Structure 1
Amino acid sequence: MKALVLAGGTGSRLKPFTHTGAKQLLPIANRPVLFYALDSLAAAGIREVGVVVGAYGRDVRELVGDGADFGLRITYLRQSRPLGIAHAVRIAHDFLGDEDFLLYLGDNYLQQGLTGLVRRSAADPAAARLLLTPVEDPSAFGVAEVDAEGNVLRVEEKPDAPRSTLALIGVYAFSPAVHEAVRAITPSARGELEITHAVQWMVDQGLRVRAETTIGPWRDTGSPEDMLEVNRHVLDRMEGRIEGKVDARSALVGRVRVAEGAVVRGSRIVGPVIIGAGAVVSNSRVGPYTSIGEDCRVEDSAVEYSVLLRGAQVEGASRIEASLIGRGAVVAPAPRLPQAHRLVIGDHSKVYLTP
């Protein structure tokens, strides 16, 4: 079985971060989200992977390479514009050939992995097999209606009146029948070829479409809130390890990972926390559930339940929590101006001011 991983898309909910990079490369516990998908594919025994890339394809290639570090052989497929998941399947036809394949959205995090799904797909063949999870607001997702035997009766994309609470989570096992389906459908109102329309076409043709439900940790890391929650899940499973320098005035409590080249001085770190190579934490309190990226600086500050991307600097912040701080960003005390705030804010940024 081959796999097709989507690593393009615009990531509109993660602006301004996605103005300068692919959302699949944003870090979870200091590793790109995409890496966890590739790890899961390799663990499931898949070796041939097609990665669909868009505007930031060069960045993805530089980080992922030929896939050898993951035990994979990767072929890159260029999607000129984000025209939908089914369109990605269309352009990947030559790579996929007439084989069964797994489709995985590269910004998804699925803690349980893919081994069980791959095994069951081989043992019980179907035209398509969908991975679902119950959600509180199904109108924000693709939704599947499933009978008592696990057969899919209907799928809809973000319906106003959902027929169930079971959302598609972006993991599918397909037979070659999907290629006829994606050729048969037309663009939706938003101008995309929807994979839900292709699945519904297969259902309408009388093909066997099966569903599996997972209640394990899953997130579409398409928003800052989801990024922080996935970071929490990953850090919860992390083991502590000290490879960098921690001075005698510092206290490390619980599972803390300090990468080689990182420095902790006069600070209290309460895990789970990961501190990347080249980062310096001094006279600060950090954690829990915080990831500090490579070459970051945290001085005279308190940071908790946050993600700092590479090169970010936090200085003199009495308390930062539930925050996502971008590459090379600087957080520092403002001048004491009476009744005024001085701001330099990029496009689509959000700033929350206390009275």
Structure 2
Amino acid sequence: MVRKVVILARGLGTRMQKEDQSVVLDEQQTQAARKGLKALIPLANGRVFLDYLLSSVADAGYSEACLVVAPEHEELRRRYQEEIPLRRLKITFAVQEKPLGTANAVAAAEEFAGDDDFIMINSDNYYPVAALTGLRELKGAGVALFDQDTMLTRSNIAAERIKAFAVGLVGSDGRLVRILEKPTAEVLSQLRRPLWLSMNCWRFRPSIFEACRRIDLSPRGEYEITDAVQYAIDRLGEEFRTVLVREPVFDMTSRSDIPSMAARLADVPVVL
């Protein structure tokens, strides 16, 4: 079974940096938020948000993690190379020199992945262990998709954001057909229910690196992992199986997420 996970941790954190006078934070949380370091937001018991995510990765059976970071992210390196004892995970780093999108970030981890399958997730989402385990137990490439109704009722993400998320189209054989990015209300109204949302929770084979190299820039000037996936399906003959999950994903995007996330994770044990 797959043992490696790539975690995208280079994000600029612009929404986290935005001041919000309605949110009461302690000094450490405020300092981390000002830097946009979502993964290093302190929550409880000396733990930061990324500690909880990494612990859930280990709970799901993974043993090696690669954090894709910016060249200047020395705080992340210091924490996991010098400050935190690691019992269950081996943590390494890959550098994405410029913020050129998720496919470019994945490409930065090619040396780490080698010839092995791996999963890829965001550093500012807290995924259910069931999704991570489901991907680990697949044979070949795949994606975890999340029920929109569950996300609307049980996650901490605003409904207007959830309704704008990418939707995975699943064939009758359980394989991914296409990811629809930012579908319009008209398109959504025509899709079969339930709607299955993509939260950037993938299992990749090494062929994804060729796809990442071959795609063009998106209209917003980035190399998008969804474009690489579609290239792999259409041009490389890759099949992506789906893990359909009726559990929520929690998000650490803005300062308003910090108090609720701290409360939600307060009793969750962390073992790295």
1:23–1:212 distance in 2 versus 1, CA, 3 Å: same
Counterpart in the other structure of 2:242: 211
Of 47, 66, 71 in structure 1, the residue corresponding to residue 63 of structure 2 is 47
Unaligned runs of 5+ in 2: 19-31, 153-159
Partner of 1:95, secondary structure, is helix
Contact 2:146/2:199 (8 A) holds in 1 = yes
How far the C-alpha of 1:21 sits from its partner, in A, is 4.6
Shift of 1:187: 1.3
Once the 2 structures are TM-superposed, how far is the Cα of residue 203 of structure 1 from its aligned partner?
2.6
Aligned to 1:156: 180
Look up the match of 1:61: 77
**Residue equivalent to 2:27:** none
Q: Equivalents in 1 of 2:55, 2:141: separation in Å?
A: 25
String of CA shifts for 1:176-208, please: whole Å, max 9, x gaps: 121121112111111111111111222323421
- Change in Cα spacing, 1:41 to 1:22, as seen in structure 2 (3 Å) is same
Distance 1:207 1:159 in 2: 24
Matching of residues 45-124 of structure 1 within 5 Å: 45-54=61-70, 56-65=72-81, 68-112=85-129, 116-121=133-138
- Structure number having the greater helix percentage: 2
Does the C-alpha gap of structure 1 residues 181 and 238 become closer, same or farther in structure 2, counting only changes over 3 Å? Answer: closer
Q: Are 2:58 and 1:28 equivalent residues in the alignment?
A: no
Change (3 A) 1:210 1:228: farther
Question: Could you tell me how far apart the structure 2 residues matched to 1:105 and 1:72 are?
Answer: 17
The CA distance in 2 between the partners of 1:7 and 1:90, in whole Å, is 14
- Which runs of 5 or more residues in structure 1 are unaligned? 240-355
- 2:170 paired with 1:141: no
Tell me the C-alpha RMSD between the 2 structures: 2.5
Give the aligned length: 235
Distance 1:118 1:145, change over 3 A: closer
Distance 1:115 1:4, change over 3 A: closer
Q: Tell me the residue number matched to 1:9.
A: 11
| 2:17 and 2:36 in contact (8 A); partners too | no
Equivalent position to 2:232, from 202, 205, 217? 202
Which one has the bigger strand percentage? 1
Q: Do the aligned partners of 1:202 and 1:209 also contact (CA within 8 Å) in 2? A: no
Q: Is the 8 Å Cα contact of residues 7 and 34 (structure 1) preserved in structure 2? A: no
Structure-1 separation of matches of 2:268 and 2:213: 44
CA deviations on 1:1-58 (whole Å, 9 max, x unpaired) are 3111111111121114544251111123352111112112222232222111115510
Paired residue secondary structure (1:69): coil
- What residue identity is the alignment partner of 2:37? A
Q: Per the alignment, do residues 10 and 188 of structure 1 end up closer, same or farther by CA in structure 2, a change over 3 Å counting?
A: same
Contact kept? 2:117, 2:140, Cα under 8 Å: no
User: For 2:221 and 2:136, how far apart are their aligned partners in 1?
Assistant: 35
SS in 2 for 1:158: coil
1:79 Cα deviation after fit: 1.3
Amino acid at match of 1:15: Q
Q: Secondary structure at the match of 1:65?
A: helix
Partner of 2:23: none
RCO higher in 1 or 2 (8 Å CA, sep ≥ 6)?
2
Q: Quick one: which amino acid aligns to residue 116 of structure 2?
A: E
8 Å CA contact 1:43, 1:115 repeated in 2 = no
Residue type of the alignment partner of 2:252: T
**C-alpha contact (below 8 Å) 1:5/1:49 kept by paired residues:** yes
Contact 1:22–1:56 (CA under 8 A) maintained in structure 2:
no
TM-score (norm 2): 0.76
Q: 1:219 & 1:115 partners in 2: Cα distance? A: 14
User: Residues 147, 232 of structure 1: CA spacing in aligned structure 2 closer, same or farther, 3 A cutoff?
Assistant: farther
> Does 1:224 pair with 2:255?
yes
